[in-house]
Amino acid sequence: MQRTRNQRLSHVRLVSAVGSCAPLMPGVRPLQLRGCLVSKQPQKLVAKIPDHVPDSTVWKQKIYDAVREAQSLAGVFYSDKAKLEVEVRFYFRGHKLTKLDLDNRLKHVGDALQGFINDKGAGKRKPIIPNDNQIYRLTAEKRLPSKRYPDALSTITIRPYVRDARTVADPRETRKHP
């Protein structure tokens, strides 16, 4: 049976410049750079978030906690220079499907991803996304859960933005005023 490149390299150990060895992390694909194997940092984060609750502060805290847990398990972190794409899929049941505005739910998600629960950053929570202006593409949908999984939780997917090469190549300007 023919093994893939990743399967052949799964047992390879990395040697740093000082000569110490560390095994490749499971689930991390090796990447060849200038003859040396280095592990490729995972970039995509998928988190299941709890159902909407009327108290926005409580809901933002639950979103933040769920995404932070998924982030720490996946080992995915984003710098303030990253350009990101965010996809949010809300699964609403009953009257919530038509009653809840999508734009207001997205504001809560954006606050939670920045660590703003009820204090606009005064609580010193570590942000998942340092600034929501790093989101270059936002896709949102509200829908009924599938018949097969009626209790499905809503999901947030965060990944690097790669849709437009010129936008990706353009450096991020982080100053407030030029």
- pLDDT by residue for the chain (178 residues), tens only, comes to 454 444 433 333 333 233 333 344 444 444 444 444 445 567 999 999 999 999 999 999 999 999 999 999 999 999 999 999 999 999 999 898 889 899 999 999 999 999 999 876 566 789 999 999 999 999 999 999 999 999 999 999 999 999 999 999 998 877 665 5
Q: What is the pLDDT of residue 177?
A: 56
Domain boundaries for CATH 3.30.1330.70 within the chain: 45-169
The secondary structure of residue 161, as a DSSP letter, is -
Quickly name the fold that domain 45-169 has: 60s Ribosomal Protein L30; Chain: A; (3.30.1330)
Beta strands 84-91 and 135-143, pairing class: parallel
Please, what is the angle between helix 56-74 and helix 102-113, to 10°?
50
Beta strands 36-39 and 45-49, pairing class: unpaired
The alpha carbon of 17 is separated from its chain's Cα centroid by a whole number of angstroms, namely 31
Dig out the tokens for 97 from the structure: 């499907």
Q: What is the pLDDT of residue 25?
A: 40
Q: What is the pLDDT of residue 175?
A: 66
pTM as predicted: 0.73
Is the C-alpha dihedral spanning 97, 99, 102, 108 positive or negative?
Answer: negative
Q: Model confidence over 16-64: pLDDT tens digits?
A: 233 333 344 444 444 444 444 445 567 999 999 999 999 999 999 999 9
Q: Which amino acid, 87?
A: E
Give Cβ neighbours of residue 125 (< 8 Å, ≥ 6 apart): 64, 115, 117
Instruction: Count Cβ atoms below 10 Å from residue 8 Cβ, excluding itself.
Output: 11
Largest CA distance in the chain: 61
Q: What is the pLDDT of residue 120?
A: 67
